[in-house]
Chain A
Amino acid sequence: MKGVSRWAGLGALAVFLAVLPQALPNNYYVDIAVLAGFNAIICVGLNLLIGYAGQISLGHAGFFGLGAYCSAVLVTHHGWPPVLALLAGAILVGLIAFAIARPILKLKGHYLAMATLGIGIIISIVINTEAGITGGPDGIAAGPFTLGGFTLQGERDWYWVVAGLLLLTIWLATNLVDSPVGRALRALHGSEVGAEVVGVDTTRYKVMVFVVSAVIASVAGSLFAHYVPQLTPTKADFFKSIELVTMVVFGGMASTFGALVGAAFLTTLPQFLTVFEDYEPIILGGIMMGTMIFMPRGLVPTIAAFIQRRRS
């Protein structure tokens, strides 16, 4: 039953993503859709950590930034092919995440928040400071993404790549959630000691999810570096991390489609509120507080529960 609904959901999303470009009047909207897609990919990964494993990361933009800068630096300064640079970034981020995960994920709640926040801020400071390598606050241009003789050009090319990667990420995430690993994670979220008592190696699963979500962010970052004309350190800073967490909690923790909706909504909203640009922090902060106070499970699960209640 669950397996069927999963495929149905993924299929519906694939159809939606295939039709969407026809409904978008010009490339400006396609651009927004691509940016939303990048955020959605990171959020689906981050949601595995926040929503399913119940661990918070306030430094995910750091992993995104590390992947992005790894690609940009290897391609521009060392002439690497973009695909190899992407893989190198993913491996580096994976190793870093693995190395720090074990000691850090033994920590709980506030301490974990502080540790991930610290890592994110350190990465961001290094990117800002090592101007000789990263271009500092001015940023760096990674150039177009090429594979073999093929070059990704224009928003519409990118749209298909990001849409495909998004579907792949969601497929991976839902598989993980419905596997024994997912069951272990949910047990861990409920009661960590309880899970340990029945034989779940909680630290191992937490480390695994942490590494997976960091690598997803890194891959998204690597592609993002090639998509934007100029990659700047603001994409790796504390506020980007907060923005990502907001997307996940607003859409709905422990709901893969919730993360998707959260990312799409919060990427699109500021584009239509450009008049209110100055009020963006107020709106963002207000959404974070309001969601947590009035619908702590997030938008999608709250609506789903509401519909279910109406039906019965």
Chain B
Amino acid sequence: MLSAFLQFLISGVTVGAIYALCGLGFSIIYNASHVINFAQGEFIMIGAMSAVSLVDAGVPMPLAIVLAILITMAVGVLLEKLAVEPAKRASVTTLIIITIGASIFLRGLAQEVWDKNFHKLEPFTGEVPINLLGAVLMPQTLWVLGVAVIVILLLAWFFNRTLEGKAMLATSFNPLAAQLMGINTKRVLMISFALSAALGAIGGIVITPITFTAYDNGIMLGLKGFSAAVLGGLGNGMGAVVGGLVVGIAESMAAGYLSSAYKDAVAFVIILAVLIFLPNGLFGRKGTERV
């Protein structure tokens, strides 16, 4: 009884950590530009697929991971330069359509560059399960959680302690004022895409030994990451992390106790409930609109 619960909790927290990283990616870009990047999920897929094919080509794992992250960051920057920046003054609806277009485009491209099969990455440190009060804990799960915690701490340090990070925060509060103070807001936008792409790629790579990857699994992961970000209040970093964990755990509990077929629906039911009853998310401030 307890062991089953613990097992669901472990898998929920694991996948929740990936939603959290993805949600953070949404929040970073949203803060820098008020763009919702619906292609965020594709970063997860591109990172994972690049790592898999590099490892298959004989590149040592650590180097393959670094290269895969760099490739994904390059895709992120290209996306920003070629699709988002040219439409800078566009409306919210227009930008949503552009990033959805980018998402479908990247997915189609991945299908051509790679294939339609599932791919797996070897676990980083073996497959000897650890027994935890009757539940099974795979070493890779510890990698996922450890990496997620380190990335989140690094991000907190980056935004609070470095000039670059503070410039990004300033831009999110007031782009015009930031620009007048000499902050290069275009550069901030570019960095935000690179950073979000890196977050997606890292999440995708560490989770692939557990869940497999394929050209088309970016969309669902991305949408759930977005649910996490909205749940925590768009643009709120800590909110995205909590939102990711809530979505991950709820999904895993629903799959375990209710019906595994409806697992994917859980995130969307939560998000509808939140949107209807708490339109600003769990931690969001109430927004006001200027005319």
Contacts and interface: CB of A to CB of B under 8 A. Distances in A.
A282 B111 CA distance: 10
A138 interface: no
A115 B234 contact: no
Contacts of A284: 101, 104-105, 108
Given A109-B92, A121-B223, A288-B101, A194 B83 contact: no
B98 A281 contact: no
A2 B276 CA distance: 40
Contacts of A126: 265
A128 B262 CA distance: 10
Contacts of A280: 108
B8 interface: no
Interface residues of B, number: 45
Given A285-B104, A288-B104, A122 B265 contact: yes
Interface stretch (B122-130, B158-166, B266-274): B266-274
B90 A285 contact: no
Given A107-B279, A286-B101, A279 B291 contact: no
Interface in A284-301: 284-289, 292-293, 296
Interface string A111-126: 1011101110110011
User: Interface residues of A toward B: which range?
Assistant: 35 or more
Contacts of B102: 285, 289
Contacts of A111: 230, 275, 279
A280 B111 CA distance: 11
A128 B97 CA distance: 26
Contact of A288 (B100, B262, B269): B100
B131 interface: no
Interface string B123-146: 000000000000000000000000
Contacts of A193: 289, 291
A192 B289 CA distance: 10
B275 A115 contact: yes
Nearest to A103: B276
A242 B100 contact: yes
A126 to B, nearest CB: 8
B222 to A, nearest CB: 11
A104 interface: yes
A196 B264 CA distance: 38
Contacts of B96: 56, 109-110, 113
Contacts of B262: 125, 129
A106 interface: yes
A293 B87 CA distance: 5
Nearest to B105: A285
A285 B275 contact: no
A118 B268 contact: yes
Interface in B141-196: none
Contacts of B97: 56, 245-246, 249, 288, 292
A106 B277 CA distance: 11
Contacts of B92: 108-110
B282 to A, nearest CB: 14
Contacts of B95: 292
A107 B101 contact: no
Contact of A114 (B106, B227, B269): B227
Given A106-B279, A115-B275, A122 B269 contact: yes
Given A56-B93, A107-B279, A110-B234, 12 more contacts: A108-B92, A122-B268, A122-B269, A125-B264, A193-B289, A281-B108, A284-B108, A285-B103, A285-B106, A292-B87, A292-B98, A293-B86
17 contacts: A54-B91, A56-B97, A100-B272, A104-B275, A104-B276, A107-B279, A111-B275, A111-B279, A114-B271, A122-B265, A193-B289, A249-B97, A278-B112, A282-B109, A288-B105, A292-B87, A296-B94
Top 9 A-B pairs, shortest CB-CB distance: A288-B101, A285-B105, A281-B108, A285-B104, A118-B268, A282-B108, A109-B92, A289-B101, A103-B276
